Amino acid sequence: MSGWADERGGEGDGRIYVGNLPTDVREKDLEDLFYKYGRIREIELKNRHGLVPFAFVRFEDPRDAEDAIYGRNGYDYGQCRLRVEFPRTYGSRGGWPRGGRNGPPTRRSDFRVLVSENY
């Protein structure tokens, strides 16, 4: 699975995005969810009132981050289905430049909107 992270713009630094978290999530909960994939260097929980919480988890070894994505993306956690992926950066599917926006990635779907002008 190793070149996958590079192809997706996905950080050789071991950092992953964790989205769709329950509103009462704590850093300890994230540690419990991800410790089995490898040594965690940092957990950055973003839990603003009124918004769905998300987090960034950084592993010491980037290969552990890949394993965590594979093992936890789509995982049912309470009433939530977790979204776990590499954070998006500029150049990886239209994301933001590093150091620019530290928010969750936009949601993708199979639906598209077509706008046309009818005279």
Enter the pTM of the model. 0.67
pLDDT in tens, 14-70: 999 999 999 999 999 999 999 999 999 999 999 887 788 999 999 999 999 999 999
Compute the average pLDDT of residues 90-109.
51
Alpha-carbon separation of residue 47 from 20, 28, 54, 57 (angstroms): 11, 14, 7, 14
